[in-house]
């Protein structure tokens, strides 16, 4: 039978005018457990620093408030609908490192991270990963042994990816790779998007208010549309095409007069080609009629 040593402590907390009854339970193996019997109180509070001072809390960079080692270093379980397993604040609220997993968390919300003055909820240190090209790549992935595990980002508003935050000379790119590590989509910090094939939805079943258009009038507008050569401000490369303001004024398509939809551009171009073909057909008929008249 295992021997159990129970030590009862009466902890007096200055400034709070209350006492906390704590028990340290020590079986014959290395184990310690502290239980409080007062609702809403702290079971264990630890400070560390030069000289072991407790008040005020230390700010020495080498001080460690709590260190725990084991197969599971810390097992923290929050109770109730709003219980928090671990609540950590500070410049680094929690720093987690592991050979296989730095942190595993389960529950309705596996982890809750809130940034303070910097606004950074999670900052991940870089490692030498098999997916990157250097030794300082930060990696987030779904669990490897779940073959169909998806990685899903859910937001109540925008999801923003900020490229090249340190503004170094290497630039920044957003890349999507397939299972063979081939780049299938690449977006650089200048806004240039490169991919193999671009496909957009044009399903008849997803459209309404469909009306025919005047091909000849579309051709006239397209012929009158100014087309120039230019480049984006502070961006490399020369380009050719119309201005969005001119396109919106001529055709009235798109969400605003600052952008041009690829679909709209292709649509008016196709309509103009059809109008040109009709003109060619009409001219061929007139030529044949004139040739007939002169007996050719």
**pLDDT greater than 80 at residue 178:** yes
Higher pLDDT among residues 15 and 204, named by residue? 204
Asked whether the whole model's pTM tops 0.95, one would answer no
Name residue 240's beta-bridge partners.
229
User: Burial, 268: exposed, middle or buried (Cβ in 10 Å; 0-12, 13-18, 19+)?
Assistant: buried
Distance CA 134, CA 49 (A): 37
> Which pLDDT band holds residue 20 (cuts at 50, 70, 90)?
very low
Do 125 and 137 meet the contact criterion of CB atoms below 8 Å apart?
no
What secondary structure letter does DSSP report for 58? P
> Which pLDDT band holds residue 209 (cuts at 50, 70, 90)?
very high
Confidence at residue 144, expressed as pLDDT on a 0 to 100 scale: 75
Distance CA 30, CA 7 (A): 15
> Per-residue pLDDT averaged across 211-226, rounded?
95
Place of tokens 């081939």: 182
Highest mean pLDDT among 97-101, 188-192, 286-290: 286-290
Using CA atoms, how far residue 183 sits from 130, 180, 187, 193, in Å, is 15, 9, 11, 12
**pLDDT greater than 90 at residue 248:** yes
Confidence at residue 8, expressed as pLDDT on a 0 to 100 scale: 47
Higher pLDDT among residues 176 and 80, named by residue? 176
Higher pLDDT among residues 22 and 253, named by residue? 253
**pLDDT greater than 50 at residue 43:** yes
Query: Each residue of 84-140: pLDDT tens digit?
Result: 777 766 655 566 665 555 566 665 655 666 666 666 777 777 667 666 666 677 777
Confidence at residue 17, expressed as pLDDT on a 0 to 100 scale: 43
């Amino acid at each position: 039978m295992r021997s159990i040593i129970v030590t009862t402590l009466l902890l007096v907390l200055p400034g709070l005018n209350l006492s906390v009854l704590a028990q340290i339970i020590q079986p014959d193996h290395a184990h310690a457990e502290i239980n409080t019997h007062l609702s809403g109180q702290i079971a264990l509070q630890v400070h560390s620093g030069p000289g072991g001072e407790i008040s005020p809390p230390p700010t020495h960079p080498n001080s460690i408030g709590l260190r725990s080692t084991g197969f599971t270093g810390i097992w923290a379980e929050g109770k109730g609908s709003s219980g928090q397993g671990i609540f950590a604040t500070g410049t680094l609220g929690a720093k987690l490192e592991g050979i296989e997993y730095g942190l595993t968390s389960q529950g309705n919300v596996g982890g809750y991270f809130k940034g303070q003055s910097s606004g950074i909820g999670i900052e991940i240190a870089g490692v030498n990963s098999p997916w990157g090209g250097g030794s300082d790549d930060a990696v987030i992935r779904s669990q490897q042994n779940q073959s169909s595990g998806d990685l899903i980002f859910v937001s109540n508003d925008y999801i923003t990816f900020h490229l090249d935050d340190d503004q170094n000379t290497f630039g920044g790119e957003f890349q999507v790779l397939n299972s063979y590590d081939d780049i299938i989509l690449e977006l650089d910090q200048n806004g240039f998007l490169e991919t193999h094939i671009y496909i957009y939805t044009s399903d008849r079943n997803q459209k309404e208010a469909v009306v025919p258009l005047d091909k000849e009038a579309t051709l006239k507008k397209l012929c009158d549309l100014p087309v120039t050569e230019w480049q984006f401000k502070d961006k490399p490369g020369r380009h050719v095409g119309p201005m969005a303001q001119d396109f919106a004024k001529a055709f009235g398509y798109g969400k605003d007069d600052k952008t041009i939809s690829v679909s709209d551009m292709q649509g008016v171009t196709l309509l103009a080609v059809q109008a040109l073909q009709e003109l060619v057909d009409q001219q061929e008929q007139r030529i044949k009629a004139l040739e007939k008249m002169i007996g050719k």
